[in-house]
Amino acid sequence: MLKKLSAALAAGLLASVLAACGGGGEDTASGGEAGSGKIVLGFSQVGSESGWRAANTKSVKDSAATAGIDLKFSDAQQKQENQIASIRSYIQQKVDVIAFSPVVVTGWDAVLKEAQAAKIPVILTDRAVDSDASLYATFIGSDFVKEGEEVGKWALEEFKSATGPVNIVQLEGTVGSAPAIDRKKGFEATIASNPNLKVIASQSGDFTRAKGKEVMQALLQANPKIDLLFAHNDDMGLGAIEAIKAAGLKPGTDIKIATIDAVKDGMTALAANEINFIAECSPLLGEQLMELTKKAAAGEPLEKRIVTKETTFTPQQAAEVLSTRQY
Ligand code: GYE
């Protein structure tokens, strides 16, 4: 009898202790303490130069929120000194991980060494640097040489029956940036197999629509016969289309156009036959970046290079996928 009573009492006591614990646990989770256990990621973005960049920024911000990572975000407005300053401030703030999309390839050794001395892992996203690979944890992004080659292969096919010179103008991305260097390299090496295909002018349009338009205007004035425009991104191509129309020519017909990125506006122009070919470059790097951030914060080793998967589009293919594009 006594045994039964004490057993019942013990069971009751246990139940109330468990209830208190459960309640207490919930209170702590939903109240106070918020964020204290979160991984802090300092991210330095290149700027807001293009539709690609806008989609990339959204992907990073949305993915951080979903992954429960505390994101400190800064926009460098395409200036390396701004990026270096914000990386230094992330080091001072002792964030857990630093990620950045380097505006240009050179000049990062000093700040990367500072991050390493502070034992903060650095993840490169989207663009490469020429520093030693021991100075960063990993680099996630596209193969820009391959993107340039894809455009080159398309150009070879498009102009394979040309009997005379095919005059090409190139709108390059930001001077000294990995995508501008590599896309040019891949494209020019590929078209070299047909001596009819000649780049008659090549100039930077800084990856922006406004600059693309301005530079194309000048190129149209200086070169009476242009057969093909290769723009290193959709935005410069879209700016150039405005200049071509203003000159009384039909984009996609009088001057063929190939670009890289495949953002919504570019794909819309492609489906309307104002652009003839786009090599895709995916800006949706956020989710993978957050996974890598968690691993880096936990001290896990990372693969040094992670290449983004991408494809290419003709006008017909663009029309088919346009309504389901995320960006
Ligand atoms: O192609 C361009 C952007 O670095 C891949 O930067 C990125 C490039 C992209 O401004 O639109």
Answering whether pTM is above 0.75, one says yes
Q: How confident is the model at residue 37 (pLDDT cuts 50, 70, 90)?
A: confident
Mean of pLDDT values over 186-202: 98
Least confident of 3-12, 162-171, 255-264, 287-296: 3-12
Whether residue 107 is found in the same domain as residue 213? no
Q: Residue 278: what pLDDT?
A: 98
Residue 45, in any domain of the structure: yes
Report in angstroms the alpha-carbon separations of 60 from 19, 21, 47, 99, 308.
Answer: 40, 37, 13, 10, 15
**Cβ contact 98:91 at 8 Å:** yes
In the chain, the number of structural domains is: 2
What's the CA angle centered on 88, arms 83 and 93, to 5 degrees?
125
- Ligand 1 contact via 281 beta carbon (within 6 Å): yes
CA–centroid distance, 34 to ligand 1, in Å, is: 36
Residue 296 structure tokens: 């880096």
Q: Which of 104, 124, 183, 281 maximizes ligand 1 atoms within 8 Å of its Cβ, making it the mutation to test the pocket?
A: 281
Q: Residue 16: what pLDDT?
A: 38
- Ligand 1 contact via 263 beta carbon (within 6 Å): no
- pLDDT 10s digits, 114-129: 999 999 999 999 999 9
- Ligand 1 contact via 127 beta carbon (within 6 Å): yes
Cα–chain-centroid distance for residue 326?
Answer: 14
Whether residue 164 is found in the same domain as residue 259? yes
Residue 237, in any domain of the structure: yes
CA–centroid distance, 100 to ligand 1, in Å, is: 14
Residue 258, in any domain of the structure: yes
CA–centroid distance, 206 to ligand 1, in Å, is: 10
Mean of pLDDT values over 305-324: 96
Dist. CA 302–CA 269, nearest whole Å: 39
- Ligand 1 contact via 282 beta carbon (within 6 Å): no
Domain, as residue range, for 89: 20-141+283-308
Whether residue 135 is found in the same domain as residue 39? yes
Whether residue 176 is found in the same domain as residue 79? no
pLDDT of residue 170 exceeding 70: yes
Report the chain's mean pLDDT, rounded to a whole number: 91
Dist. CA 301–CA 138, nearest whole Å: 9
Residue 230, in any domain of the structure: yes
Q: Phi and psi at residue 160, in whole multiples of 5°? A: -65, -30
- Ligand 1 contact via 236 beta carbon (within 6 Å): no
From the CA of 144, give the closest atom in ligand 1: 5
Q: Residue 304: what pLDDT?
A: 96
Q: Residue 82: what pLDDT?
A: 98
Residue 14, in any domain of the structure: no
Whether residue 257 is found in the same domain as residue 157? yes
Q: What CATH number is attached to the domain comprising 30?
A: 3.40.50.2300
Dist. CA 245–CA 226, nearest whole Å: 14
Whether residue 135 is found in the same domain as residue 162? no
Residue 321 structure tokens: 């996928």
Mean of pLDDT values over 221-230: 97
CA–centroid distance, 125 to ligand 1, in Å, is: 11
Q: Residue 36: what pLDDT?
A: 57
Whether residue 156 is found in the same domain as residue 277? yes
Whether residue 118 is found in the same domain as residue 35? yes
Whether residue 46 is found in the same domain as residue 89? yes
Residue 314, in any domain of the structure: no
Dist. CA 36–CA 249, nearest whole Å: 60
- Ligand 1 contact via 207 beta carbon (within 6 Å): yes
Q: Which of 78, 142, 233, 327 maximizes ligand 1 atoms within 8 Å of its Cβ, making it the mutation to test the pocket?
A: 233
- Ligand 1 contact via 100 beta carbon (within 6 Å): no
CA–centroid distance, 200 to ligand 1, in Å, is: 24
- For the chain, the 3-state helix, strand and coil shares in percent, each to the nearest 5, are 50, 20, 35
Report in angstroms the alpha-carbon separations of 7 from 3, 14, 17, 20.
Answer: 6, 10, 15, 20
- Ligand 1 contact via 205 beta carbon (within 6 Å): no
- Strands 277-280 and 312-313, by their bridges, are antiparallel
Whether residue 187 is found in the same domain as residue 268? yes
Q: Residue 17: what pLDDT?
A: 36
Whether residue 127 is found in the same domain as residue 38? yes
Residue 255, in any domain of the structure: yes
CA–centroid distance, 283 to ligand 1, in Å, is: 8
CA–centroid distance, 144 to ligand 1, in Å, is: 10
Residue 161, in any domain of the structure: yes
Whether residue 263 is found in the same domain as residue 211? yes
pLDDT of residue 27 exceeding 70: no
CA–centroid distance, 179 to ligand 1, in Å, is: 7
